[in-house]
Structure 1
Amino acid sequence: MAYWQFSFWAIPKKSLLDKYSNIPNKITEEDFNSVDWFINYSSESFLNSIDYLTENQHWNKDTIFLGDYDSNSIAISYDNMNKLIVEIYFRIDLRGNYEYIVKNMLNSLCLGNLIIFDENLEKVRQTYDGLMSKLKFVIDQKKLVEYRLLYSSTSKY
């Protein structure tokens, strides 16, 4: 993941409830990779809501790619043989004003009845304040790393 991005996956709420009987705060990597999360998922409302990113080509022909590689994007990977979604992956560009894209992505997630899991497979609060708080935390952590790198390269031992 690029330094200036925040990425996350979206999983259907119904699939999580079917698997766990509740929405877990974290899912295992094994479950994430082995469960067919989208087997009974109807993607129409979700796909129709994404009018804020333009469709572009993806290197994988089985992926619908909306947005830009170097900016905000949504990648929807398909199993063409079974005509099923395999995963939905979001990326937010943190270099500028990202409030507009956050609001639009949250709207799409709500319309699609999808739940956010970050790259550690931990659930992210699915409200504007919840996601903005997570983004602020990520940005602050990146600034701390920058500061430490700068300080360590300029300090004399």
Structure 2
Amino acid sequence: MKEDGLKTKEKREKNWKLLYLRSAKLARAKQLGFDYPGASNKPEIEDNEPLNVLFICSRNQWRSPTAEAVWRNHPDLRARSAGTSPNARRHVSADDIRWAHSIFVMENKHRSRLKAEFGDAIANKPIHVLDIPDEYQYMDPELVDLLKASVESILGLP
């Protein structure tokens, strides 16, 4: 019985120490200007500031420019688009990554390419894979519907 009490006390003490260490690490990370791993990936923006969303596909020719056009005039968003291919109409840059609060990629391969090229810069950015294949033309009505439904549900937009 006494042994159980000691284990409980040790467990409480250990949990307290872990919480203290984690809060100290979080505070230090914030002081240095980066997120501690495991901290919230929710973008920190002002309540009235629009959310910067970056749409990525391969060549920035059909899918991501369509997404940018669809969301460009939304009052709560600022939209940009770029491509991961060296042949992209507009190649994604480090400035694009820094600017974005949230990144939407059309396929898993785009997320992989971003991680390979920008590693630490995107480590704490939310990246959403939309799973939209490269079989649509610019402003294709079906593509527009897919983009609206996906982005609205992810961002919780009306």
Q: What's the TM-score, normalizing by structure 2?
A: 0.28
| Rg comparison, structure with higher value | 2
Q: Which structure has greater strand proportion? A: 1
Q: Which structure has greater helix proportion? A: 2
Higher normalized contact order (CA 8 Å, seq sep 6+, divided by chain length): 1
